[in-house]
Amino acid sequence: MERRAVRGRLTWQVATVTSVTQETGSVVTIALDPADWPGHRAGQHLDVRLTADDGYTAERSYSIASAPGEPVAITVERLEDGEVSPYLTEELRAGDKLELRGPIGGYFVWEPADGGPLMLLAGGSGVVPLRSILRHRRRTGSDVPARLLYSARTLPDVIYRGELDQDHDGAQVIYTLTRSQPPGWTGHTGRLDQALLAEAAWAGEANPLAFICGPTSFVETAAAGLVGLGYPPERVKTERFGATGGR
């Protein structure tokens, strides 16, 4: 059957993996070199498709970890019993090919002109699109105040820790560790709740712009909490992922 590209359509393409970098014990960042990439916006994602020898296919969406203008990269967490993530995190090597399409998404995106102050809330690997936003903010020289509240199980589970611990041109990074803490830990502990939000988030009077990404329960708690602090609901953007993988 003849196939032709339709304008406004996403076309699957084969990209070359240029590097695979271990971020934590179960998380890797995969840099990609797609032949046809129109450029992405901070917060967007792409779809990955794996095809088995028998023709069975599995598709997942992964947030783009790099900033606009940087080479495309995704960060993938290995999920037990996952169909796609074990291959991506353990088998994939530089030089391999990966089928993808993108960039995708027009809601969970940030441009410097959207302003702030930016309140970013990450649950686990939900930090990935928020890292793209932070990098975009830095690369564009934006002076929008930014704060990242990042909930992780343990300190070794924090993705991009080396990068986040550096000074991000005034961006503040606040961790809460939910499962265990290293000796001498003076930061926050336990799951995100209203008390932590009230302490760590910008006040509602500042008319902040919030981006929340994480598991559904985290996102619901965070979104309701911010609205409770006076954030305008239309300025609280959410992205949820499930245990079946992706983002």
Partner 1 sequence: MDALDGNAIGGLLIDVFGAEMTAARSTCATCGDSRPVAELVVYRQAPGTVVRCRTCGSVLMVFVRAHGAIDTDLTGLASLSQPDRPLSGEQWLACRTSTQARIGQVGPTR
- Contact residues: partner 1, CB under 8 A: 1, 6-10, 45, 47, 58-59, 61, 101-102, 104-108, 216, 237-244, 246-247
- Two tokens at 112? 């410097």
User: Tokens 């939910």 label which residue?
Assistant: 178
Question: Quick one: 105 or 116, whose CB is closer to partner 1?
Answer: 105
Question: Quick one: 180 or 244, whose CB is closer to partner 1?
Answer: 244
Task: State how far the alpha carbon of 52 is from the alpha carbons of 60, 76, 117, in Å.
Answer: 14, 20, 45
C-alpha to C-alpha distance for 31 and 45, rounded to whole angstroms: 14
Question: Quick one: 175 or 239, whose CB is closer to partner 1?
Answer: 239
Question: Quick one: 187 or 242, whose CB is closer to partner 1?
Answer: 242
CB of 186 to partner 1, least distance (A): 34
CB of 6 to partner 1, least distance (A): 5
Across 171-197, b (16+ Cβ under 10 Å) vs e yields bebbbbbbeebeeeeeebeeebeeebb
- Two tokens at 242? 């499930």
Question: Quick one: 5 or 205, whose CB is closer to partner 1?
Answer: 5
Report whether 49 contacts 59 (CB < 8 A): yes
CB of 199 to partner 1, least distance (A): 26
Q: Radius of gyration over alpha carbons of the chain, in Å?
A: 18
User: Tokens 């019993």 label which residue?
Assistant: 81
Residue 205: exposure state from Cβ atoms within 10 A (0-12, 13-18, ≥19) = exposed
CB of 197 to partner 1, least distance (A): 19
CB of 242 to partner 1, least distance (A): 3
